[in-house]
């Protein structure tokens, strides 16, 4: 019987009397918490790694885009002392003639973001050089087709209602900007070629060199040698060709040993398919590029058009500067998505999209709030006229909304470029911008007499917002694993030679 008696000293009085089942639940809860913490750490690590990859492209891209945007502004500023007609001439030549062709050629070159990005992800490194040469051929030939816009710039501008003296001076500038026009055919593909290999820092340094040359040449040719409008045009020609030779020199002189193996006759094969993809890319981007240019033209039909144009120009300038950030995310997202899809990593492409959209949106919200806080002060940068200040103040809410939408829309367009959806997005842009947005802007602004706010509001909410919503739905519903398969099939189709020993080689960035 004594063996059946439990003595008090057999019990640890400090040990809590917990049922066995409760103890197991506690250990399971602890394990779950540890798993959650580990998952959170892994997610934070993935976000940090993706952020580093993304900003390796976005950071230099912001800098190079701001520099490129500034070169034309600097030349116009130097030309400002020549007179109102001369300043208007170079501004119109840059905005209307060069701007029209710039958007189309830039869009056509973005086909390389799809092809080079996916080929790089698939480690078909040699094909990047072939794609680059094909793009040079296609864009160079396209430059000849667009040449009449420069040669006949004067009569075209007169038809658009410009005064004869401004149209004649703009036509002179346009003819002297023909070398600039042809530089686009080489510079844009070189930028996309290097960007797809994460070599954006090279583009940034070369852009800085081009900016310094632009400042020096503008000062010499306009102020020192007094070449007037011709000097302003030549300074732009020289500075943009500095970008071409700088990027080309880096590419062929050992900067890209894996992706540049010299000129090849293979570049002349598959040009028709390449042209179709380039054309789709060009239409996709130029429809966006022309949209807000049309906004400014439409404002000229309003009563008190001078004040409306002045206020809208202030808002568009601010929007243009801030837009360099989303456009850099456009480039970064396109490269990251294309690289991951080319490597067959659909989930990684989806994750890159989420990180990019989130970070760009946060930046957009920041600037949106900043505009709302400084709504009655932002115009002081450009004007002290009371009427202009009041007009800009009224438009500040639309400026804030536009900046917010622009923080998302270009990123989603970058996803489309990285995935090769250019043709589909071109149709979406056509429908949203020109079938919905533009008629709604005309209706609100000119028919219902809401003025510039009606025009801009109709185009923003009817065009940009609808397009952003459609692209968001398409991206959310995307089957990323299927897109990875399509990307690999595209790489195999467009590669004229099999993989050699590239799979065992790491790219030195």
Model pLDDT for residues 90-109, shown as the tens digit of each residue: 777 877 788 778 888 888 88
State how far the Cα of 171 lies from the Cα of 193, in Å rounded to an integer.
33
Q: Which stretch of 159-168, 404-413, 482-491 has the lowest confidence by average pLDDT? A: 159-168
Is the pLDDT at 30 greater than 70? The verdict is no
Which has more confidence, 284 or 461? 461
Is the pLDDT at 385 greater than 80? The verdict is no
Helix and strand counts by DSSP (H, E) for the chain: 20, 0
Q: Residue ranges per domain, the chain? A: 49-269, 280-496
CB atoms within 10 A of CB 1: 4
Q: Mean pLDDT, the chain, as a whole number?
A: 82
**What is the reported pLDDT for 305?**
64
SS3 sequence of 220-281: HHHHHCCCHHHHHHHHHHHHHHHHHHHHHHHHHHHHCCCCCCCCCHHHHCCHHHHHHHHHHH
Which has more confidence, 1 or 126? 126
User: pLDDT class for 35, splitting at 50, 70, 90?
Assistant: low
Is this model's pTM higher than 0.85 or not? no
Which has more confidence, 117 or 307? 117
Name the DSSP letter for residue 443: I
State how far the Cα of 400 lies from the Cα of 411, in Å rounded to an integer.
18
Who contacts 154 (Cβ-Cβ below 8 Å, separation ≥6)?
167, 168, 170, 171, 172, 174
Q: Which stretch of 25-39, 246-260, 421-435 has the lowest confidence by average pLDDT? A: 25-39
Mean pLDDT, to the nearest integer, of 420-436?
Answer: 87
Q: What percent of the chain has pLDDT over 90?
A: 28
The shares of helix, strand and coil residues in the chain, as percent rounded to the nearest 5, are: 85, 0, 15
State how far the Cα of 399 lies from the Cα of 316, in Å rounded to an integer.
8
Is the pLDDT at 466 greater than 90? The verdict is yes
Who contacts 374 (Cβ-Cβ below 8 Å, separation ≥6)?
none
State how far the Cα of 306 lies from the Cα of 238, in Å rounded to an integer.
34
Sign of the C-alpha dihedral, residues 491, 492, 493, 494?
positive
User: pLDDT class for 67, splitting at 50, 70, 90?
Assistant: confident
Mean pLDDT, to the nearest integer, of 329-337?
Answer: 89
Is the pLDDT at 17 greater than 70? The verdict is no
User: pLDDT class for 118, splitting at 50, 70, 90?
Assistant: confident
User: pLDDT class for 317, splitting at 50, 70, 90?
Assistant: confident
Q: Which stretch of 145-149, 185-189, 299-303, 422-426 has the lowest confidence by average pLDDT? A: 299-303
Is the pLDDT at 13 greater than 80? The verdict is no
Cβ–Cβ < 8 Å for 290, 159: no
Is the pLDDT at 150 greater than 50? The verdict is yes
Identify each DSSP E strand in 326-480 by its residue range: none
SS3 sequence of 102-129: HHHHHHHHCHHHHHHHHHHHCCCCCHHH
User: pLDDT class for 462, splitting at 50, 70, 90?
Assistant: confident
**What is the reported pLDDT for 499?**
42
**What is the reported pLDDT for 1?**
40
∠ CA 263-265-266, nearest 5°, is: 100
**What is the reported pLDDT for 501?**
39
Token pair of 487, please?
A: 């990307």
User: pLDDT class for 3, splitting at 50, 70, 90?
Assistant: very low
Is the pLDDT at 111 greater than 90? The verdict is no
**What is the reported pLDDT for 26?**
55
User: pLDDT class for 187, splitting at 50, 70, 90?
Assistant: very high
Mean pLDDT, to the nearest integer, of 31-39?
Answer: 68
User: pLDDT class for 16, splitting at 50, 70, 90?
Assistant: very low
Is the pLDDT at 299 greater than 80? The verdict is no
**What is the reported pLDDT for 491?**
83
Long-range Cβ pairs for the range 366-371 (8 Å, 24+):
367/322, 367/403, 367/407, 368/400, 368/401, 368/403, 368/404, 368/407, 369/400, 371/318, 371/396, 371/399, 371/400, 371/403
Is the pLDDT at 497 greater than 90? The verdict is no
Is the pLDDT at 294 greater than 90? The verdict is no
Name the DSSP letter for residue 385: -
Q: Which of 59-68, 152-161, 396-405 has the highest mean pLDDT?
A: 396-405
Q: What percent of the chain has pLDDT over 70?
A: 86
**What is the reported pLDDT for 469?**
94
State how far the Cα of 416 lies from the Cα of 409, in Å rounded to an integer.
11
User: pLDDT class for 297, splitting at 50, 70, 90?
Assistant: low
Mean pLDDT, to the nearest integer, of 246-268?
Answer: 90
């Amino acid at each position: 019987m004594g063996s059946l008696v439990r003595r008090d000293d057999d019990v640890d009085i400090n040990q809590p009397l917990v049922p066995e089942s409760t103890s197991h639940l506690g250990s399971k809860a602890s394990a779950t918490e540890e798993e959650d913490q580990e998952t959170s750490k892994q997610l934070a690590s993935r976000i940090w790694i993706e952020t580093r990859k993304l900003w390796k492209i976005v950071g230099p891209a912001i800098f190079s885009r701001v520099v490129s945007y500034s070169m034309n502004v600097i030349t116009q500023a130097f030309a400002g002392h020549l007179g109102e007609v001369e300043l208007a001439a170079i501004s119109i030549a840059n905005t209307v003639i060069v701007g029209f062709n710039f958007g189309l050629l830039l869009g056509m070159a973005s086909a390389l973001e799809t092809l080079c990005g996916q080929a790089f992800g698939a480690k078909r490194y040699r094909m990047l050089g072939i794609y680059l040469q094909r793009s040079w051929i296609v864009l160079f030939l396209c430059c000849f087709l667009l040449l009449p816009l420069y040669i006949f710039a004067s009569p075209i501008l007169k038809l658009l209602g410009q005064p004869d003296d401004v149209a004649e001076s703009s036509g002179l500038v346009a003819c002297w900007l023909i070398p600039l026009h042809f530089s686009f055919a080489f510079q844009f593909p070189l930028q996309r070629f290097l960007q797809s290999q994460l070599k954006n820092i090279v583009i940034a340094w070369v852009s800085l060199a081009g900016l310094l040359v632009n400042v020096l040449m503008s000062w010499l040719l306009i102020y020192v040698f007094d070449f007037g409008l011709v000097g302003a045009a030549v300074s732009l020609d020289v500075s943009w060709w500095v970008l071409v030779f700088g990027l080309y020199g880096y590419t062929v002189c050992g900067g890209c040993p894996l992706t540049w193996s010299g000129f090849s006759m293979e570049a002349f094969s598959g040009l028709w398919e390449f042209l179709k993809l380039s054309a789709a890319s060009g239409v996709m981007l130029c429809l966006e590029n022309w949209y807000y240019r049309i906004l400014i033209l439409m404002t000229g039909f309003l009563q008190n058009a001078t004040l409306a144009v002045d206020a809208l120009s202030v808002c568009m300038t601010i929007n243009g500067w801030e837009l360099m950030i989303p456009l850099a995310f456009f480039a970064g997202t396109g490269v990251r998505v294309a690289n991951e899809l080319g490597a067959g990593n659909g989930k990684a492409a989806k994750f890159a999209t989420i990180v990019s959209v989130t970070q760009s949106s946060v930046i957009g919200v920041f600037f949106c709030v900043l505009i709302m806080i400084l709504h009655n002060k932002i115009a002081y940068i450009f004007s002290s006229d009371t009427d202009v200040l009041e007009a800009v103040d009224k438009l500040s809410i639309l400026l804030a909304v536009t900046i917010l939408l622009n923080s998302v829309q270009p990123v989603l367009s970058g996803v489309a470029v990285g995935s090769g959806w250019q043709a589909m997005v071109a149709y979406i842009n056509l429908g949203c911008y020109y079938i919905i947005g533009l008629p709604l802007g005309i209706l609100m602004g000119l028919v219902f007499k809401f003025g510039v706010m009606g025009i801009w509001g109709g185009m923003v909410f009817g065009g940009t917002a609808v397009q952003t919503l459609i692209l968001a739905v398409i991206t959310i519903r995307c089957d990323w694993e299927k897109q990875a398969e399509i990307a690999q099939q595209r790489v195999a189709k467009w590669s004229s030679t099999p993989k050699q020993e590239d799979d065992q080689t790491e790219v030195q960035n």
